[in-house]
Structure 1
Amino acid sequence: MNRFIIRLLINALALGIAAQVVPGIAYDGWQSVIIVAFIFGLVNAIIRPILTLLTCPLIVLTLGIFTLVINALMLLLTSSIAEALNIGFRVDGFSAAFFGGLIISIVSFFLSVFVRDDGERRVNA
């Protein structure tokens, strides 16, 4: 449960930073960002693997660059769900979603590096 909360906070912080940096991404408050981070986590856990499997030839053909398009689509889907649920979060267009997905990936990666996972054993070679 602790790991889930940490991942949720990392996603929320990454979404908040993306909204501050990328024009076209907006939120109404940190409460909405935390709810959207939960939705974003669900979308990435359920739909992203299916989409990645279906687009595997494109991912291989583009040497992995197509995953940036998948990130943008996941952010657009999250924004659509948030708007349908009347949560104060929106992404205006594919270009905002593309750059927002890029920022979210970078911020999440760097924050995850600094968070130690207690369940994972590290082997020193």
Structure 2
Amino acid sequence: MTGFLIRAVVVGIGLWVASRIVSGISFATTETLIWAALFLGLVNATVRPVLVFLTFPITLLTLGLFLLIINGLMIQLVAHFLPGFHVEGLWPAILTSVVVSLTSWVISWLVGPSGYEVYVVRR
């Protein structure tokens, strides 16, 4: 559970950065941003693996680039069900997924390869 919350915080930071960089994405309140990070983590853990499995042939043909569209669709799905989180189309959603991924990568690089696990074990 702690690992999920740490990842949700990292995703929340990525979503906040994306809302500052990408036009077409916005949050009504900070509380909405927190809920969006939690819901995105939940959707990525449940819905995304099913879509990745079902679209494997397309992903293989595009050499993995179709995963960007799947990630954008997951962000749009969260925005559809969460009032106060607005995404104005697929391109802003895809750009948001790229920003969230890059932010997560940078934070992982700063923390170290086993930073999440070290935090969980020391608890």
Question: TM-score range with shorter-chain normalisation?
Answer: 0.7 to 0.9
Structure 1 contact 10–112 (Cα < 8 Å) conserved = no
What is the TM-score normalised by the length of structure 1? 0.86
**Rounded Cα–Cα distance in structure 1 between residues aligned with 2:98 and 2:17:** 11
Quick check: 1:107 aligned with 2:103?
yes
Matched pairs, number = 116
4+ residue runs over 6 A deviation: none
Correspondence for 1:8: 8
Mapping of residues 1-125 of structure 1, within 5 Å? 1-82=1-82, 86=83, 88-115=84-111, 116-118=115-117
Q: Which has the higher helix share?
A: 2
The alignment-based identity, stated in percent, is: 37
What is the TM-score normalised by the length of structure 2? 0.87
**Rounded Cα–Cα distance in structure 2 between residues aligned with 1:30 and 1:92:** 19
Structure 2 contact 6–116 (Cα < 8 Å) conserved = no
**Rounded Cα–Cα distance in structure 2 between residues aligned with 1:81 and 1:114:** 33
- Letter aligned with residue 95 of structure 1: W
Q: Give the RMSD, CA atoms, in angstroms.
A: 1.6
